[in-house]
Structures are given as C-alpha cells and as structure tokens.
Amino acid sequence: MKKLQPFIGTWKTEGQTTTGEKISGTDTYEWFPGGHFLQHKINVHMGSQETIGLEMIGYDAATGKYPMHFYDNQGNNTVSQATEHNGAWTFTGEKERGTFTFSENGNVISGTWEGSEDGKSWAPIMDVKLTKIS
C-alpha cells in the first residue's frame, strides 16, 4: 500500500477526450480508515456531463496487484486492477485501461486512457493531467 502514498491529496484534473470534449474537475485520494484501502473521489465534467464517482483501491499481496472497484452517479460500476512498474502506473479493466506517470517533484500526474469493445483492440479515449492542489 505504501506505493500508493504519492496519490494522496486533492488534484485539479484537466484534459481532453479524443472527440474534443474538455475535462475539468477534481480527484481526491485519501486513506480509508484503517489504512488498508485508498479511497478515490472523482468530481469531473466531460463536456456537459458531470461524473461523481467513488473508487476503492486495495492491495493483493499474492499477485502484487491493486484491485480497484469504481461506482458513479450514472450507475456505472467497474472492477479493474492497477500495477506499478518503475514509477509508471497501469490501470486495466475489461473495456478501459490507462497509463499514468508522476512528474519528478510528484505534483503532476499525466495519463492516457484507452478503450476497447472486445478487450483486444484498443484506441485512445482521453489524455488527462492532474495537478496537486493540496
């Protein structure tokens, strides 16, 4: 769980989808009481659509992966997993995956999301940048 520590804080989220919609809002990461899970709250707009979400991130010592469960105000719920390699994080679900890296000073996260209908062919969905504000 210690590898998740750099995510802790509130982040200004900006980006753009491949269809040209602007992305803006905040992402907040904090330890869930007990320290066994990282709680991720999302409040963003993609164009005119508001997404409010909650994600819980844990750790599976047997696989070395971080299981993730996400729920949002539109009724979506997804299960995915994260892995970390040399400071780069990969989040992989059935139909979406993303790759994220931290800046040297840890105050910016840059990432790209891709989507797939069949789990085999992937295409870019959006690019995002999160800047730490607290």
pTM of the predicted structure, to 2 decimals:
0.93
Question: Which domains does the chain show, CATH number per domain?
Answer: 2-132 (2.40.128.20)
CB atoms within 10 A of CB 40: 19
Per-residue pLDDT of the chain (134 residues; tens, 9 = 90+): 899 999 999 999 999 999 999 999 999 999 999 999 999 999 999 999 999 999 999 999 999 999 999 999 999 999 999 999 999 999 999 999 999 999 999 999 999 999 999 989 999 999 999 999 99
Which of 9, 8, 3, 16 lies closest to 113, judged by CA? 16
Residue type, 76: N
Residue type, 2: K
Backbone angles phi and psi of 120, in degrees to 5: -120, -45
Cα Rg, the chain, nearest whole Å:
14
Which of 63, 43, 59 lies closest to 4, judged by CA? 59
